[in-house]
Chain A
Amino acid sequence: MSLSQAARARIVNEFIPRYPSKRAALMPSLWLAQEEAGWLGPAVFEEVGELLDLHATDVASVASFYVMFHRRKIGDRLIEVCENPSCFLNGSDQTYARICDRLGLDSGHGGHGMQTTSDGKVSVRATECLAACDYAPVVQVDLRFYGPVHEADVDAFLANMEAFSIQGKASVSMANGPQAVPVDGWEAHAPPAPGSAA
């Protein structure tokens, strides 16, 4: 696993000039590397470090601070269920348990450690507030938000996630008034590829 030529070029030509210090390009560089490989391994720490004049250990110490940087291979898709109070009050624990059950994972696992299905297709973990509490309980799949996903909705959700997508929609409260039109038109303007906003 190593960085592609395109990624190296983007780090050098786009990320580094954006900041007064080379080091500051680290966050976008790590995001880019993770988009390419799905996770961040020792080789990437070396390569990114070389480009930014940092020791690989230094890069790893930063990457390990942030829960969204994965330092081991995870499933093809990552499902994260919010478990903070607003979602908890609306039944997120049951949602989490049902998702685990459906995927053959340990629903009593309870938490923020990640579980991956044996075929390597899906990883599941609990997560902190996703700032979409009007759609509680909220589920995040590969950095997109879905909700509300109640326990009873889980089967339908796993079959067709897009039906639960909240992104580009107005808040639930807005949805009840005459302002209810989703803020649309975004998709028509050539949406960037997922993750391109590193």
Chain B
Amino acid sequence: MTQTPPAADAPIQHGAGQPLPWEPVLMTAVGRKGGRFLPDYLLRGGYQGLAKAVQEMDPVSVIKEISDSKLLGRGGAGFPTGVKWGGTKRNPGPRHLVVNADESEPGTYGNRYAIDADPHGLIEGMLVCCFAVGIQQAYIYIRGENLYGAEVLEHAIKEAYAAGYIGRNILGKEGFDVDISVTRGAGAYVCGEETALMESLEGRRAQPRIRPPFPIEVGGGLFGRPTVVNNVETLMCVPHILVRGAAWFASIGAPACPGPKLYTISGHVNRPGVYELPMGTTLYDLIYKYAGGMKRNQTVKAVSPGALACQLLPGTDLNVQMDTATLTRPPHWHPPFGPVGFGAGGIIVYGEETDIVQVVARAAGFFARESCGKCVPCREGTHWMQDVLSRIAHGHGRPRDLGILEDVTRNIGGRKTLCALGDFSVNSVASALRLFRPEFEAYCNGHARSNAAGSGVPLAAG
């Protein structure tokens, strides 16, 4: 990992040396000395979106601008941000903003990177939201493992308080008061689900709530108050929309869900990493143009387009556009399990040497350990899937096991649980069974790939 520091005036490039099709919008801090500190953020045009909102616009026009930009939430659900803000504002205060920085989906790491590089971008987005919706207390909930990110944020918040961007009468606007604090989780994947996250923030076990009432409503949000829950990346888009205009934002990438996107790509690619590209970049371009192609020149066997909670895409489907709209519509819709899903744009690429049964067994183990235990189908079913898959992966599978697996997946998925963890826990398993059934059958008939059976040892190293 040694590298020569580049010349200061070198052109901005990404990854395998491929020039980006554009100038990055969100990742302007990368490679700048002290890029994550307030002075550099101001040099890069920081807090101008907030200034424009406060000095030239009113809350209603800010929400309209965000709605016009067609910004969809980047956390996975793809809910229109403007609608969420407007809905929260219609309900009586006090209201809260919660930033979901619990990013725990295996294969997803854009938020960690964005926070490390540009914490003030997030804080400015939060402040714009607080101004537009009328919020005085905002909380950032960050996963416990990411201590470094929490420290970066704490430091940035201190800087912003000292400079008057957080606190009382912000930017001289009478009555525009906001407090921001950081709360650390302590290792629970389910906290990425917004109602579980709020339970955790309130000091409880992170178990999802029954909806309705929804978080934007009285009784449904944090401390029972109307609450906006936004993803880190969503809020980081906001200042740029205000500065450059909704029309500019809406013109980037896929028309149905426009904007810049932090794609994170990992697995069997030569250059795993974070790539900021327009929404709707094709999977082929992501793998071969930016991520440097496949390790050991293998072909692509399958891809998890939105990390582990999404269905697998076959390696023959590389021309698919990677965006929320494409991956949630036919032909990327497989009854009874629903859309393939885009998640938060965490792409895991499996090469032909991957033993998909081992991967899926691991996925099942993950969801079984992370199930919060509130809803029966998920609490019981994920462990059942894990038991069966573990047996298969260790070479003791029986022919009838595949039928059991199909039955269990159908009985967890399909809106039978309060949150998406249960629904999505079956996605990898069910799609792998659909796409690679002969491999499972081989395991169950005593013909497991010899270097994997029994040992739990993966096929690929290095």
Which residues in A have some Cβ–Cβ distance to B below 8 Å? 18-21, 23-28, 30-31, 52, 54, 61-62, 65-69, 83-86, 88-94, 110, 112, 127-134, 136, 140, 143-145, 150-151, 167-168, 170-181, 183-186, 189, 191-192, 194-198
Contact = CB atoms under 8 A, between A and B. Distances in A.
Interface in B19-62: 29-37
A30 B203 CA distance: 10
4 A-B pairs with least C-beta separation:
A173-B273, A26-B203, A66-B186, A133-B266
11 contacts: A67-B187, A68-B186, A136-B272, A167-B148, A168-B148, A170-B117, A173-B274, A178-B12, A183-B31, A197-B182, A198-B184
Contacts of B170: none
The contact size tier of chain B is: 35 or more
B149 to A, nearest CB: 9
B380 interface: no
B31 A179 contact: yes
A131 B111 contact: yes
Interface centre among A24, A168, A175, A191 (most CB of B within 10 A): A24
Contact of A176 (B17, B147, B184, B267): B17
Interface string B104-143: 1111110111001100000000000000000001000001
Nearest to B372: A65
Contact of A23 (B203, B265, B268): B203
Contacts of A131: 103-104, 108-109, 111-112, 143, 145-146
Contact of A170 (B11, B30, B200, B271): B30
Given A89-B460, A180-B3, 17 more contacts: A19-B223, A27-B183, A65-B188, A66-B187, A67-B186, A68-B144, A86-B267, A127-B145, A128-B189, A134-B274, A150-B461, A173-B275, A178-B10, A181-B5, A186-B155, A197-B147, A197-B153
Interface stretch (B75-83, B245-253, B358-366): B358-366
B14 A177 contact: yes
Contact of A134 (B14, B184, B203, B273): B273
A60 to B, nearest CB: 11
Given A23-B202, A140-B145, A181-B5, A172 B33 contact: no
Contacts of A69: 186-187
A23 B203 CA distance: 5
Given A65-B206, A86-B107, A128-B106, A178 B184 contact: no
Contacts of A186: 36, 152, 155
B456 A144 contact: no
B109 A128 contact: no
Contacts of A175: 1, 3, 273
B298 to A, nearest CB: 11
A125 to B, nearest CB: 11
B457 interface: yes
Contacts of A132: 109, 112
A65 B3 CA distance: 42
Contacts of A170: 30-31, 117
B6 interface: yes
A28 B183 contact: yes
A85 B33 contact: no
Contacts of B369: 112, 128
A121 B184 CA distance: 26
Given A65-B205, A66-B144, A174 B30 contact: yes
